[in-house]
Amino acid sequence: MSDQMESIAAAPETARDPSPAGFRGAEETDPLLAQAARFAAMPAFEAAVRANISGLTDVRRSNRLINKLTSYHTRWRVTGYLLYLHADRERFGPEGGATYGNLHEMCSRPPGISPRVLKTMLALLQFTGFVKAKRDSGDRRSKIYQPTPRMQSFMQPWLRYATGTLDILEPEMRRAQMLRDDPGFVDRFLVSSGRAHETAKPLVERMPEWTAFFGARDGAGAVLLPIMQADIDGTAVPSRAELAKTFGLSKTQVTNVLRLGETKGYFVLDAGGVPAASEFLRTTFRQWVSIELAFYAQHMQPPAGRGVG
């Protein structure tokens, strides 16, 4: 991503510039940003934003473990790296390549993830049954980490919301159908997005200020969703107790997210402490959604040599 887009994400007065004008100029040198700008300009984009909120809410709803895994972008990235290394059997052989050494190498690339976080996540994924470890048949001193059926069952709702949302914008691609009927679709997505980590700017660096709050504050990414849904639908925001119950958080966590979000300009709190989306949040949220969907679209493709249809 270009320096120009980073300035857009970091400066509130610029970020308020409505999309696609908020991307103006930067898309000329960044294909992913160009795709994001095209999505943001589509008449169907608001429906896609609404579907994105609904789908993510369903994934996160009432599951404390899932919220813990996805609240911090570093934890989520470790999981993504493991899934990629397991899927890239063309490079690493039939058992995959999710060894500690390969994971450590990926985590060492900017933006880095510390060995402590990597080891903690591997232990957590094993303890919760999302990942199993086995000895490498080629090197008995090394362990290979592999996703379990429980991990696969978590991935399906996540991929269904992503493909379903993209089908609103690019129905001719039929990505939801590919997910359902094409057994190689998930591995192609994981391999394409994982290999891109070696050469492309990571998704988390596209809007660093956004990621620093909504991707690094426990509960922030979850609480955001019903606030934006209420803003779009013109309905009341659920109470703090309801938000806490929905996402497996404490009321204190919800309160802390809202107060800190207010200082950063994302939320507006009335005299009773009821939150609403600020204009800054409306704009930056749509920018983030367009960039995230562009990333998915770039890597969710049919097999090479086979057209759509």
Specify whether 171 is located in the same domain as 285.
Answer: yes
- pLDDT tens per residue across span 145-157: 999 999 988 888 8
pTM: 0.87
- pLDDT tens per residue across span 214-232: 988 889 999 999 999 999 9
User: What is the percent of the chain with per-residue pLDDT over 70, rounded to a whole number?
Assistant: 86
Question: Is 306 a domain residue?
Answer: no
* Secondary structure (H, E, C), the chain: CCHHHHHHHHCHHHHCCCCCHHHCCHHHCCHHHHHHHHHHHCCCHHHHHHHHHHHHHHHHCCCHHHHHHHHCHHHHHHHHHHHHHHHCHHHHCCCCCCEHHHHHHHHHCCCCCCHHHHHHHHHHHHHCCCEEEEEECCEEEEEEEEECHHHHHHHHHHHHHHHHHHHHHCHHHCHHHHHHHCCCHHHHHHHHHHHHCCCCCCHHHCCHHHHHHHCCCCCHHHHHHHHHHHHHHCCCCCCHHHHHHHHCCCHHHHHHHHHHHHHCCCEEECCCCCEEECHHHHHHHHHHHHHHHHHHHHHCCCCCCCCCC
Backbone angles phi and psi of 143, in degrees to 5: -100, 145
Specify whether 169 is located in the same domain as 295.
Answer: yes
Specify whether 125 is located in the same domain as 255.
Answer: no
Specify whether 76 is located in the same domain as 219.
Answer: no
Q: Across residues 178-183, what is the average pLDDT?
A: 96
Structural domain count of the chain = 2
- pLDDT tens per residue across span 183-200: 999 999 999 999 998 888
pLDDT, residue 28, reads 60
Q: Give the CATH number for residue 90.
A: 1.10.10.10
Question: Is 309 a domain residue?
Answer: no
pLDDT, residue 67, reads 66
Contacts 24+ apart (CB under 8 A), 58-66: 58/157, 58/161, 59/157, 59/158, 59/161, 60/221, 60/222, 60/225, 60/247, 61/246, 61/247, 62/245, 62/246, 62/247, 62/248, 63/248, 64/248, 64/249, 65/128, 66/154
With contact defined as beta carbons under 8 Å apart, do 290 and 45 qualify? yes
- 76: pLDDT strictly greater than 60: yes
Specify whether 54 is located in the same domain as 201.
Answer: yes
Question: Is 97 a domain residue?
Answer: yes
Q: Across residues 41-70, what is the average pLDDT?
A: 86
pLDDT, residue 16, reads 40
- 296: pLDDT strictly greater than 60: yes
Question: Is 211 a domain residue?
Answer: yes
Specify whether 216 is located in the same domain as 267.
Answer: yes
Q: What's the domain range around 11?
A: 3-64+154-299
Specify whether 195 is located in the same domain as 289.
Answer: yes
Q: Across residues 278-304, what is the average pLDDT?
A: 96
Specify whether 224 is located in the same domain as 276.
Answer: yes
- pLDDT tens per residue across span 113-147: 999 999 999 999 999 899 999 987 766 678 999 99
Question: Is 37 a domain residue?
Answer: yes
Which of these three, 148, 172, 200, is where a domain ends?
Answer: 148
Which of these three, 98, 127, 148, is where a domain ends?
Answer: 148
Question: Is 91 a domain residue?
Answer: yes
pLDDT, residue 136, reads 73
Specify whether 280 is located in the same domain as 162.
Answer: yes
Specify whether 262 is located in the same domain as 292.
Answer: yes
Question: Is 308 a domain residue?
Answer: no
Specify whether 124 is located in the same domain as 201.
Answer: no
Specify whether 190 is located in the same domain as 170.
Answer: yes
pLDDT, residue 140, reads 64
Q: How much is the mean pLDDT over the chain? A: 87
pLDDT, residue 137, reads 72
pLDDT, residue 64, reads 66
Which of these three, 148, 181, 210, is where a domain ends?
Answer: 148
- 13: pLDDT strictly greater than 50: no
Question: Is 305 a domain residue?
Answer: no
